[in-house]
Chain A
Amino acid sequence: MSAPSLANAILKRPWLTKLVKPIAAWYADAAGYRKLGLRADDLIPEESENVLLALKRLPQKEAYDRVFRLRRAFQCSLAHQLLPKDQQTKPEEDYPYLSPIIKQVEAEAKERDDWDAVVVKRKA
Chain B
Amino acid sequence: MISRSAIGRNAQLALRRQCCAKPAPSNRRGLAAVSTGSTSFSYESADVGGIKVASRDVAGPTTSLAVVVKAGTRYQPLPGLTVGLEGFAFKNTLRRSALRITRESELLGGQLLAYHTRESLVLEAKFLREDLPYFTELLGEVITQTKYTDYEYHEEVEHLIKLSQKRLLADVSDLALNSAHGIAFHRGLGTPLYPTSSSPLSKYLNDGTIHEFADAAYTKSNLAVVANGASQTDLSKTVGEFFTGVKSSTNAVSSPASKYYGGEERIAHDSGNALVLAFPGSSSFTAGGSYKPEISVLAALLGGKSSIKWTPGFSLLAKAASSFPGASATTTHFAYSDAGLLTIQFTGSAQAIRGASTEAVKSLKSISEGSISKEDFTKAVALAKYRALEEGQSTDAGLVSTGAGLVHGGKPFQIGEVGKSVEGVTAEKLKSAAKALLEGKATVSAVGDLYVLPYAEELGLKV
B392 CB to nearest chain A CB (Å): 38
Contact present for A57 and B151 (CB under 8 Å): yes
* Binary CB contact string for chain A from 83 to 124 against chain B (1 if under 8 A, 0 otherwise): 000000000000000000000000010011001001010000
CB < 8 Å A-B pair total: 18
One of B100, B151, B154 near A115 (C-beta < 8 A): B100
In the assembled complex, the Cα of A124 lies from the Cα of B459 at a distance in Å of 70
Interface SS of A by simple majority: helix
Which residues of chain A come closer than 8 Å to B155, judged between CB atoms? 56
Whether B20 sits at the interface, judged by CB under 8 Å, is no
* Binary CB contact string for chain A from 47 to 82 against chain B (1 if under 8 A, 0 otherwise): 000000000110100000000000000000000000
Residue of A nearest to B98 (CB): A108
Contact present for A120 and B107 (CB under 8 Å): yes
In the assembled complex, the Cα of A44 lies from the Cα of B135 at a distance in Å of 42
Residue of B nearest to A118 (CB): B103
Contact present for B151 and A108 (CB under 8 Å): no
Contact present for A111 and B100 (CB under 8 Å): yes
Contact present for B103 and A108 (CB under 8 Å): no
Which residues of chain B come closer than 8 Å to A59, judged between CB atoms? 150
In the assembled complex, the Cα of A57 lies from the Cα of B97 at a distance in Å of 17
Which residues of chain B come closer than 8 Å to A111, judged between CB atoms? 97, 99-100
Residue of B nearest to A60 (CB): B150
In the assembled complex, the Cα of A116 lies from the Cα of B100 at a distance in Å of 11
In the assembled complex, the Cα of A112 lies from the Cα of B100 at a distance in Å of 9
Contact present for A108 and B107 (CB under 8 Å): no
* Binary CB contact string for chain B from 84 to 117 against chain A (1 if under 8 A, 0 otherwise): 0000000000000101100100010000000000
Which residues of chain B come closer than 8 Å to A112, judged between CB atoms? 99
| B100, B103, B107, B154 — most chain A CB neighbours (10 Å) | B103
The 7 closest A-B pairs by CB, nearest first: A57-B151, A115-B103, A111-B99, A112-B99, A120-B107, A111-B97, A115-B99
Q: List 18 A-B contacts (CB under 8 A).
A: A56-B151, A56-B154, A56-B155, A57-B150, A57-B151, A57-B154, A59-B150, A108-B97, A108-B99, A111-B97, A111-B99, A111-B100, A112-B99, A115-B99, A115-B100, A115-B103, A118-B103, A120-B107
